[in-house]
Amino acid sequence: MSGALSCALSAPLLPLLLLLPLSLSQHYDHAPVYAHDVSFPILSPTVVPFSESNSSSSLLSTITGGYFDTPPKTNPLGHDVQEFYSKFIDGCSAKYSRRQCEQTERQRIQQNNDQPPKMTNYTTLGYHKLKFDPDLFAELLTFYNSYRDQAVPEKWPAGNTFTNHWSSPTLMVSLEDRRFHNGLSLKTRIWDSVQKSLESWSHQTLKKTSLYGIRIYTSDSILAPHVDRNPLITSAIINVAQKGEGTELWPLEVYGHDGKAFNVTMEPGDLVLYESHSVIHGRPFPLVGEEYANVFVHFEPIDDDENPIVQYDGEKTPSDTSADELNLHRAAASGDLKLVQKISEKEVHKITMRDENDWQPVHEAARADNVEIVKYLVERGAKVEDETGGGGRDVKFWAKESNSKRVLEWLGEL
Ligand SMILES: *[C@@H]1O[C@H](CO)[C@@H](O)[C@H](O)[C@H]1NC(C)=O
Ligand SMILES: *[C@@H]1O[C@H](CO)[C@@H](O)[C@H](O)[C@H]1NC(C)=O
Ligand SMILES: *[C@@H]1O[C@H](CO)[C@@H](O)[C@H](O)[C@H]1NC(C)=O
């Protein structure tokens, strides 16, 4: 399976290696093998400790419970990883508070430790690369090229350390953006297509959980290695576009079920499948080049008696979708009252939170005629007169627009 994946130290990377200190570069005859905490703090808040005495010995050491026999001081790119990481946290702390940043980091690391061992693994290695449907890809690329100029900054929750968005902002050309033609239809078809690929790879019957994108990462972006929360279980990344020299080398670093780091490089049109709840994944090496645009697609296996989904009971952590922030919007749109209640009780601020189109959950519920949810949200502080934008687009407006009979009746309009 791994043969299908491009090895990061294949020909295109060789020029880069010349930049490495000689003592390290001599050991790059073949791809390094290493486990957690070398490229970025993953299972512990510090990277693998430096051992002056044997730092020049091989990076190709055997894996010992996630650690090196001979710990390197620098990461494979030649950074002092600990210093690099401190700067990352300083950047976050300058934008938010150190307490918030450190808290999300603690959660990320705790979840990396706790979650994978408890999960059911569906494939041998946990990741796989292939080509995305070429026709659908062509359409996606056209969509991206048409609306790239209208990309909006992606909003991140305070203290989120999932990306270094404070210094390398991420942008969105959302398939759900109501300004863009064809997005929702494209989204549905992408979802269906990826579902087929994932089902045949994982031998599971899947149900859709979320599709998010197109996110654009910008120069020097970092994606902290993490696992996704349930129900983002089997997932896929579509590489839509990349701009600038060096982008083709920006690896998605995954830790397969074998515990070894592997770089998956992607070209536009590539699709990477991975078990995102058990495979730690990230992009710990800063993006060389200007832009890198991806779509994220998530599913969960159908939960039945034979195949119960193990719930991770950890705290909320960053996940692949900052759209996770918008989970109340999704629950309101899909009519899941129980979930709406659960989220609203825990995260009260989300009741009136707006998405990038200025919609609150109550507008989603009204549009989908989920009257019980509209009522519940209003009882909890949402206002029917709040608008999604100027011009009277309030709850009644959207209910009328979508012919939401039950909501209109409740509003006294019928
Ligand atoms: C490298 O250093 C570590 C820590 O000092 C030590 O435990 C290990 O035996 C050394 N390995 C070699 C090959 O010298
Ligand atoms: C992954 O890619 C980085 C950056 O290109 C490289 O330095 C590192 O050695 C690679 N790691 C593996 C396991 O191949
Ligand atoms: C599933 O994979 C994870 C890492 O990807 C590993 O920690 C865990 O032990 C595996 N579980 C089983 C039952 O093999």
Atom 7, ligand 2: which residue's CA is nearest?
Answer: 76
Classified as helix, coil or strand, 272 is strand
Distance between Cα 139 and ligand 3 center (Å): 37
Q: Please name the residue that has the structure tokens 């995305």.
A: 132
Residues ≥6 apart with Cβ < 8 Å to 305: none
The lowest-confidence range among 10-24, 98-112, 164-178, 274-288 is 10-24
Q: Please name the residue that has the structure tokens 């791809």.
A: 31
- Mean pLDDT throughout 14-34? 41
How confident is the model at residue 303, as a pLDDT?
Answer: 63
Closest ligand (CA of 50): 1
User: pLDDT by residue (tens digit) across 363-378?
Assistant: 999 988 999 999 999 9
Distance between Cα 54 and ligand 1 center (Å): 6
Cis check for the bond before 237: say yes or no (omega within 30 of 0).
no
Give, for 234, the enclosing helix (H) or strand (E).
Answer: strand 234-243
- Mean pLDDT throughout 192-198? 96
User: pLDDT by residue (tens digit) across 252-284?
Assistant: 999 999 888 899 999 999 999 999 999 999 999
Regarding predicted confidence, which is higher, 313 or 93?
A: 93
Q: Is the model's pLDDT at 380 over the cut of 70? A: yes
Residues ≥6 apart with Cβ < 8 Å to 109: 41, 42, 43, 44, 45
Q: State the pLDDT confidence band at 81, using cuts at 50, 70 and 90.
A: confident
Rounded-to-integer distance, Cα 205 and Cα 196, Å: 9
What angle in degrees, to the nearest 10, is found between the helix axes of 337-346 and 327-334? 150
How confident is the model at residue 3, as a pLDDT?
Answer: 36
Q: Is the model's pLDDT at 304 over the cut of 90? A: no
Which atom of ligand 1 is the closest one to the Cα of 70? 1
Scanning 5-150, the segments in alpha helix (DSSP H) are 14-17, 22-25, 81-95, 98-118, 134-147
CA distances 401 to 342, 353, 394, 398, Å, are 29, 22, 11, 5
How confident is the model at residue 60, as a pLDDT?
Answer: 32
Rounded-to-integer distance, Cα 183 and Cα 140, Å: 9
232 close to 298: Cβ distance less than 8 angstroms? yes
Ligand 3 pocket member 44 (CB < 6 A): no
Distance between Cα 6 and ligand 2 center (Å): 12
Structure tokens at 162: 């999932």
Cα dihedral sign for 38, 118, 222, 271?
positive
**Domains of the chain by start residue, with CATH:** 2-118 (no CATH), 321-414 (1.25.40.20)
Q: Is the model's pLDDT at 14 over the cut of 50? A: no
Q: What share of the chain is helix, strand, coil (3-state, %, to 5)?
A: 35, 15, 45
Torsion of CA 199, 205, 208, 214, to 10 degrees: -10
Rounded-to-integer distance, Cα 22 and Cα 149, Å: 43
How confident is the model at residue 77, as a pLDDT?
Answer: 53
Closest ligand (CA of 253): 2
Ligand 1 pocket member 51 (CB < 6 A): yes
User: pLDDT by residue (tens digit) across 117-152?
Assistant: 888 899 999 999 999 999 999 999 999 999 999 999
Q: Which of 147, 150, 152, 166 has the alpha carbon at shortest distance from 356?
A: 152
Ligand 1 pocket member 54 (CB < 6 A): yes
How confident is the model at residue 402, as a pLDDT?
Answer: 81
